[in-house]
Amino acid sequence: MDNQGLYFDGTSHIRTANTLDQNNVNSFTYEGWIRPTSATLAGDLLAFENAPNSNDASISFNGNNIEVDLDGTIASIPITYTNVDEWHYVGVSVRKYENNRSTVCAVFGTGTET
């Protein structure tokens, strides 16, 4: 239905009980829809933290790039974005291959990047 959803201001994070250890983390996927109000995308989509303002992992927008940060290692994926105040699909998958090695795939709107 139109005009329904949750508003995120980039300051509310998921608190985890333990520090992220990529050796123990398996694959995960984030999917959602956003309706930006600015031509420049910035802020967290999803952040895991073990203490206030101490992120272990996050999926964020930074200067129209999707950034995935896993314990300080950042994958930055450029996206094409022009339509303010329209709904856009966002999907990010992190696939773990082995200890300390993952692949990141991001979908924004109709574009896919890895």
pLDDT tens-digit readout, 1-11: 444 555 555 55
- Rounded Cα distance between 8 and 100, Å, is 30
What one-character-per-residue DSSP string does 61-77 give? EESSEEEEEETTEEEEE
- Establish how many alpha carbons lie within 13 A of residue 110's alpha carbon, considering only the half-sphere containing its beta carbon: 2
Higher-confidence position of 98 and 42: 42
pTM above 0.75, yes or no: no
- Rounded Cα distance between 18 and 74, Å, is 20
Q: What is the mean pLDDT of the chain?
A: 76
Query: From the CA atom positions of the chain, what is the Rg in Å?
Result: 14
Q: CATH second-level architecture of 14-113?
A: Sandwich (2.60)
- Rounded Cα distance between 25 and 99, Å, is 9
Higher-confidence position of 58 and 99: 58
pLDDT at residue 67, rounded to an integer:
92
**Structural domain boundaries in the chain:** 14-113
- Rounded Cα distance between 25 and 7, Å, is 28
pLDDT at residue 72 is higher than 70: yes
pLDDT at residue 63 is higher than 70: yes
Model confidence band, residue 76 (pLDDT cutoffs 50, 70, 90)? very high
Model confidence band, residue 28 (pLDDT cutoffs 50, 70, 90)? confident
Of 3-7, 22-26, 39-43, 109-113, least confident by mean pLDDT is: 3-7
Burial class (CB in 10 A: 0-12, 13-18, 19+), 79: middle
